Amino acid sequence: MKNLNYEILKQKFNKKIFENSKKELLKKLATSPERYIGIFRPTKPKIKLIQNITQSNEIKFGDAFEILIHEIFISQGYKPLNKKISFKESYKDLDQLFEKNNKIIFIEQKIRDDHDSSKKQGQIENFEDKLNLLLKKYSESEIKAYFYFIDPSFKKNKIFYQKEIEKLKKDYEIDIKLVYGNELFKAENIEGWCFIIKFLIKWKKELPEFPELDFDSQADETFNEIKDLEPKYFRKLFENKAVKKEIFPIIFPKKTVLNKLKNYFNEQDKKIYKNLAKKLEEII
């Protein structure tokens, strides 16, 4: 697809998944240290840190895919619409919303249909709520709606979703489809699926085998990401003996970032930062 540049898309994709991951990890360490260093754990801290980062990346992968689908549809001539929909006191944030040929195209997207059955009813209700809001917002327009699962390998709840979609289609009298994988692009008669497959294959080849736990290896980048973390999180981290003993040697092995933080805190006027610098001095 000529209009899509791999390098630009990769930057957007990676930013969505990996940006602020270190900051988020420190916040979790500060608020729930026992999840990483508690004695009632079958794993050592390093494994738990890796597990946390990979789980976080999995969640953000879905958000990154919103960018990818968005860019593909734009490249095929679809006009993007504001995905933040409100009507009177109701508000919803949609995954995808476009206009083409005087039709509104609404896409509710998920990575895969493999969740527990207890969640499926909530998924449909949320979809219907968004649909209702769209019908009010665009009352004069024709609407096409898709309930879309990107990964076609998982169809755990397909029978349930298909029945519910058919009910919605009949009751609202609008075009609604349950689609998996390439079915979305076939339904719209556009290209896109081959690009997604090629993009993911190339992108995954460039990923490291394991997430980088040594924050000092990219000291400047790490410092700039975490330096403005709220003082309450630093306080909890610096005062927790177990975190300092078991976690800090893993993520700050050379203490480079800690030294940068100490100097930065000393430059601030507020007393809390001066006191944080003192605590860091003791750690270093």
Averaged over 144-160, what is the pLDDT? 96
Phi-psi sector, 255: left (phi>0), alpha (psi -120 to 50), beta: left
Min mean pLDDT across 95-104, 172-181, 206-215 is at: 206-215
> Within 10 A of 149 (CB to CB), how many other CB atoms are there?
25
Which sequence spans correspond to the domains of the chain? 6-63+208-283, 77-190
pLDDT band per the 50, 70, 90 thresholds, residue 2: low
Does the pLDDT value for residue 106 go beyond 80?
yes
What are the CA-CA distances from residue 135 to residues 40, 103, 206 (Å)? Answer: 51, 12, 43
Task: Kindly report, residue by residue over 31-62, the tens digit of the pLDDT.
Answer: 999 988 877 778 888 899 999 999 999 999 99
Task: Kindly report, residue by residue over 221-272, the tens digit of the pLDDT.
Answer: 999 999 999 999 999 999 999 999 999 999 999 999 999 999 999 999 999 9
Query: In the prediction, which pLDDT does 1 show?
Result: 65
Is residue 83 within 8 Å of 123, Cβ to Cβ? no
Q: Note every long-range contact of 76-85, with CB atoms under 8 Å and residues 24 or more positions apart, other chains counting.
A: 76/188, 76/190, 76/191, 76/192, 78/105, 85/130, 85/133, 85/134, 85/137
Instruction: Specify the DSSP class assigned to residue 2.
Output: T
Token pair recorded at residue 191: 């290209």
Taking the domain 77-190, which CATH number applies? Answer: 3.40.1350
